[in-house]
Structure 1
Amino acid sequence: MGTALLLPVPLALTPEGVALVAEIETYLATLPARPVVPYVCPLGSAQQLWNAGYPAPAPTLLNRLARRPARPVPVTVADHLQLASRYMTAFGWTQGRLWDSAGRVCLLGAQAAVLAHGYGTPTTVLRGRVQVMEVLHATGRPHASPDRFNDTPGTRQADVHHLLDRASARALSLGI
């Protein structure tokens, strides 16, 4: 049994099509020359740690002697929300619980994990949740809490990442 090889049909341009192509090429020739720089998506698939670019909390000698954790790394509210999104990307997302046995986290679980790893303070987390609530209400999704939005049937991981991204941008614009 033979298989037929399907070749692409040659493109035949009408005179109007040829004129349109010429018009586009003429327009493009008037644009200033710019070096070609490939676009790299900030949410790309390159493997990196969820906290890449942020210093790890480092205990001092006194902290080690007193057997206490290092001081938290100060982060802005915008950074905290970005870290929560990155943590969720690295470990996975879940609904209906803070985390599951596979290590996946919900929105609140991601915020708690970022805090537990020594980034920010409880106040940073609270201010981040306020920004998330502001975005939810501004976009017509008046949920009682970010956790309710996370656990709503039909909410996808991408929706949570988008929400965190918008809340982070809002916090950045407010300088917090």
Structure 2
Amino acid sequence: MTTHALIDASQLSADANQLVREIENFLATQPARRPNLPAPKPARGSFDLPPVDELIAEAGIVTGPAPRQKKTKDRGLPGGVWRMLPDWALTVRRGSRRQVTVTEHLQLTALVIQRYGWCGRGLRSRSGRRCILGAQAVLYRLGYGDQDTAMAAGRVMDRILAARGIRAHYWEWNDHAGRDEGDVLYLLREAIQTAGQ
């Protein structure tokens, strides 16, 4: 007979708490929300735009290859067992729901994919990697944003794909053969820029 160690709720939420700290740190660095005012229309024929490097820096976009991260040992459950648990286990940690903007939701979706890895063909892999929709589900389970925010973020991604001539929804596009994490993060960066306008 095999003996299995019992895992209590505090252990289940250890890694979720770490993700929540990362999300809260990210949200703390965001500027205060201002009401959306319509941008003044430029006069016909005059387009005085700042240099592209300045626009990229202002948008907070990091260019170039992703920095290599040192592998750290999980402080949560042994052997990354938490990643194999169902997503409902994340609700153990959730307090009250915190509203986020569509732009913040897209930025946090990218953060989840960068933290846990990306997968195609399903919301999550056995090792805990997430597709775009799976990363959105993590945010929802942890109490960041609501279904309306996630659906609005999805519409932004769908519009970008439609502008590229792609008729599939973003979750179908995510699962297409040949797709990789770089493609997904590029779509999310474009959506972040578009939603912020």
- Normalising by the smaller structure, the TM-score range is 0.5 to 0.7
Who is 2:186 aligned against?
A: 162
In the alignment, is the contact (CA less than 8 A) between 2:119 and 2:125 conserved in 1?
yes
Structure of higher CA gyration radius: 1
Who is 1:95 aligned against?
A: 120
1:74 is displaced (CA, Å) by 1.5
Q: Which runs of 5+ in 1 are unaligned?
A: 1-39, 48-66
Give the direction of change, closer, same or farther, for the CA distance of 1:126–1:93 in structure 2 (3 Å limit). Answer: same
Local SS of the residue matching 2:154 = helix
Q: Which amino acid aligns with 1:103?
A: G
* TM-score (ref. length: structure 2): 0.53
Give the direction of change, closer, same or farther, for the CA distance of 1:41–1:170 in structure 2 (3 Å limit). Answer: closer
Q: Which runs of 5+ in 2 are unaligned?
A: 1-60, 71-91
Who is 1:70 aligned against?
A: 95
Pairing partner for 1:131 from 150, 153, 156: 156
Who is 1:118 aligned against?
A: 143
Give the direction of change, closer, same or farther, for the CA distance of 1:153–1:44 in structure 2 (3 Å limit). Answer: same
Distance 1:80 1:167 in 2: 10
Distance 1:142 1:119 in 2: 29
Distance 1:116 1:168 in 2: 21
In the alignment, is the contact (CA less than 8 A) between 2:94 and 2:141 conserved in 1?
no
In the alignment, is the contact (CA less than 8 A) between 2:112 and 2:135 conserved in 1?
yes
1:171 is displaced (CA, Å) by 0.8
Q: Which amino acid aligns with 2:187?
A: L
Distance 1:69 1:149 in 2: 30
Matched, 1:149 2:173: yes
* Alignment deviations for residues 102-139 of structure 1 (CA, whole Å, 9 cap, x no partner): 11011100111111111111110010000010111112
* TM-score (ref. length: structure 1): 0.59
1:85 is displaced (CA, Å) by 0.8
Distance 1:146 1:170 in 2: 15
Q: Which amino acid aligns with 2:132?
A: L
Pairing partner for 1:82 from 107, 131, 141: 107
Count residues in correspondence: 114
What RMSD in Å do the two structures reach over aligned CA positions? 2.2
Local SS of the residue matching 2:161 = helix
1:46 is displaced (CA, Å) by 5.6
Distance 1:148 1:79 in 2: 23
Pairing partner for 1:105 from 130, 151, 154: 130
Distance 1:94 1:111 in 2: 13
Distance 1:120 1:45 in 2: 30
1:41 is displaced (CA, Å) by 3.6
